[in-house]
Chain A
Amino acid sequence: MNSSIFNSKTHIARFLLTACLAGILFFLMDRGLFFLLREAAYDFYSSGNVGKDWYGKTEVVKKNYFNTLIMGTSRTKEGIHPVYIFEKLGYRAYNAASPGRYPQFNYLFYQQFKKRNGVPKVVILGIDYFLFSKDSNRRQLLELKGDRQSTPRRIDYQEARNPNSRFLSSISLLYRTKPLLDQYFADAVDALAVKFEGKGNKNVLPAGISKYTGLYGSVPNHKAPPPPHWPKSPYTPFPGKEGEFFKKLLDQLRRDRVKVFLVGIPDYIKVFETNHQHRKLVEDIERLASQYMNVRYFNYNTPDAFELDNPHLFVDGDYGKRISHLSVFGSKMLTLKLCNDIQKLFRQERERRL
């Protein structure tokens, strides 16, 4: 190589030393500033300063943020309202229930939730009549196994990617997470604008509330008389198709010392009469629950515990149909009942300990 390139060994040494020092300083400052900003973003998003329009961003939180996990099918998704759990119990609940999510999915989902959010204090599992008669949705299972199902997203440098440059993303955390940090600054300024200018959506949710859609309306044709005959739905007893995963999940939750509430989600009366073998479901669940000290079963799917015949508490359901869903009002009633029962339970446990 041409000797004109290098002035002297001293200069080269000085250059290398400066470059190394700059590299070390950059590494430290880049990481330090990133972690500071991330904590600031966590505090901002979890402080309740975000409005209803920012659903997605309330999930961008730190580890162990959600202390309650709700799992189940669409009946649980619409049936249990995280806002009331927060208001009554102060628990930050993540509602992961969705159509097609049966015990196998829930068991796998719980593993991922643990990894990303940390072990919750409480798990609420929705109990359906057809719990052991169906398979979890294949596509959702594949996505979960491929780690593409949405669990609470966090500002996590391991997951963030800046599409502009892979090279710079690999050396700088600030650069890699720039889109997330930009979003945080923009949201913070918008929140200030809402606070001082009164613009924007004022329907601020309490802190830590995850997505809840809510269904409006009431059961159609609820006044129609019952038909002379309609197909009754048999119950598939435990273990059925995915019962083993249900047991595995309960075992895991016991090991993790999580309080588990199995909640019988109410059916509209016409569906309740269609699903005529409730007693067997209740027996199965009670038997399973009795094997675990940390598990309690609250069954609201009875006319004594819930107004199954009130059409305004449901949005669907008819004779011959196996499924019905609670409306926003039904969900509120169910969730408040559940919270009351949980509070009563905790009070009794405290008194027993004393």
Chain B
Amino acid sequence: MFFNSVTFLYFFLLVGVVYYATPHRFRWVPLLVGSYVFYGFFDVRYLIYLALPTILVFLLAQALDRTKGQVIRKWVFMGGIVASIGLLFWFKYLNLFRETFGNLFVEGGLKPLQMILPIGISFYSFKLVSYLADVYLERLPAERHMGYFALYVSFFPQLLAGPIDRAISFIPELKKRVELDWDRVGSGVQLIIWGLFKKIVIADRMALFVDQVFRDPAHYTGINLLFGVYFYTVQIYCDFSGYSDIAIGLARILGFKSMDNFKFPYFSRSLTQFWNRWHISLSTWLRDYLFLPISYSILRWTKKETFLNVKIEKWAYAGGMSVTMFLGGLWHGASWTFVGWGLIHGFYLVFAHFSKRFRKRWARKLGIKKRLRLYAFWQGLVTFHLVSFAWIFFRAPTFTAAVEYIRNINVGLSGSGMVHLLYTLLFMAVFAILEIALFNRGRIRFVKRMPALARLAAIVLFVCLTIIFSVDSSNEFIYFQF
């Protein structure tokens, strides 16, 4: 029952009607039941792996709240973390480490264990960890109402692929009194339509080309491979941000404000800015619960102020960032290519941090900053290409395949496949124009001045064009795999 299925439409309509028909005090009930029904639709066994850690973390948080002794609190906290991350490790990473260990130390390797991977486990595990950490650090009191807590963990629009909302902001959202607001519903519907367009028209269209070239890169000429990368860059963005838009739109219809997950990341002018705009719920989670604690720990443990003539703060940054991006890459999937992708971004960020002064000095010397628009464009172009390059490792099945792919990229034109490439490029161009328009929507006055009927007609036309150009495929959302 994915978001782009008709079955989900019926499900959401039913849940929505029951939700608004229920008195406010008990509204968490249909949402919680609906969330579990939604999750159970994929596999009934998943419900156990959702319910058990939810109950455990709820109880542990209660214990943390009631316990004053720091040592006991620490052990309770660590126990909760181990349980949440342990579950994730067991289902998602055990086979990867077994395989790696087997390849290195066991003759013949080790056979992978047959086990299911509960969809969305990466996301709700992180919700549990962030909640427990916030309670431990006394940023928020433990939630007393089991129903609201369970709903926070299992809220169906966010369950499969985020956003990874924080309990500190989202549980109060779930509790607030919500009245049916048609403007808000209309806004939610618009967001869902936009999200569906990004997924079923753009992302799935790009996938048709990308899957072919990545499956057999040796069969294609350089320019096809080059555009394969660009198309994948667009595909993964549209797929994931499309899903997020749908999730946020659904939450909005139900009256809840969910955090933004993407803010036009490909318009970023630096990698730091990119990570402030890409998968924001994850990047802020990694920053708050991994990067900052690790960096501060390095600073606390080190007595010196410099090391190899470099300030300790920079080393703390480098260390923290490397570990964070290593784990961030690993979070995306049980494959070393994802780790490679994470480390590439780690390298980018560390390099950018270390070379900041040097780059600024040279920009001043060359007078680049005097031509602000050109400089901004250049920064954006470089950032986009650095990100696209890293995506090759994200998409390729193995390191060897990724390296082989890169080696064969060139701008050599060939007669073969150009028409299909241009056809796909047309969709990318249309999307780029729409994204730029959205990015600058505050400045586009005619949209604001459009009469309501004209705006409605534009939306309806957009829906019709989405139907026409949608790709009829069974591609599930990419981030469901994580």
Measuring CB to CB, which residues of chain A are less than 8 angstroms from any residue of chain B? Answer: 1-2, 4-7, 11, 14-15, 18, 21-22, 25-26, 29-30, 33, 37, 164-165, 167-168, 172, 174-175, 178-179, 181-182, 189, 192-193, 196-199
Contacts and interface: CB of A to CB of B under 8 A. Distances in A.
Contacts, number: 79
B397 to A, nearest CB: 27
Interface residues of B, number: 31
B420 A193 contact: yes
Looking at B20, B22, B464, B470, which has the most chain A CB atoms within 10 Å of its CB?
Answer: B464
Contacts of A172: 467
A196 B470 CA distance: 26
A198 B20 contact: no
Given A21-B456, A197-B415, A11 B6 contact: no
Contacts of B181: 7
Interface in B174-193: 179-182, 186
A189 B460 contact: no
Contacts of B463: 26
B429 interface: no
B464 A29 contact: yes
Contacts of A168: 6
Interface string B403-443: 00000000000011111100100000000000000000000
A5 B20 contact: yes
B24 interface: yes
A196 B419 contact: yes
A182 B470 CA distance: 9
A196 B420 CA distance: 11
Contacts of A167: 6
A335 B112 CA distance: 68
Nearest to B458: A25
B419 A193 contact: yes
19 contacts: A4-B24, A7-B179, A7-B182, A11-B182, A15-B182, A18-B456, A25-B456, A26-B460, A26-B464, A33-B468, A165-B6, A174-B467, A174-B468, A175-B467, A193-B419, A196-B415, A197-B415, A197-B418, A199-B415
Contacts of A21: 453, 456
Nearest to B182: A15
B456 to A, nearest CB: 6
A199 B464 CA distance: 33
A4 B456 contact: no
Interface of B: 6, 20-24, 179-182, 186, 415-420, 423, 453, 456-457, 459-461, 463-465, 467-468, 470, 472
A1 B21 CA distance: 7
Nearest to B463: A26
A4 B461 contact: no
Contacts of B419: 189, 192-193, 196-197
A326 B351 CA distance: 79
A14 B185 CA distance: 13
B468 A198 contact: no
Nearest to B10: A167
B460 to A, nearest CB: 4
Contacts of B186: 18
Nearest to A193: B419
A138 B161 CA distance: 58
Given A2-B22, A198-B415, 20 more contacts: A2-B23, A4-B20, A4-B180, A14-B182, A18-B186, A22-B456, A26-B464, A30-B464, A165-B6, A167-B6, A174-B468, A178-B467, A179-B472, A181-B468, A189-B419, A193-B419, A197-B415, A197-B416, A197-B419, A199-B416
Given A192-B419, A197-B415, A37 B460 contact: no
Looking at B180, B186, B459, which has the most chain A CB atoms within 10 Å of its CB?
Answer: B180
A168 B453 CA distance: 24
Closest CB pairs A-B (n = 6): A193-B419, A165-B6, A25-B460, A174-B467, A197-B415, A15-B182
Nearest to A28: B460
A179 B470 CA distance: 11
Nearest to A32: B464
Contacts of B453: 21
A21 B456 CA distance: 8
A189 B468 contact: no
Nearest to A25: B460
Contacts of A30: 464, 467
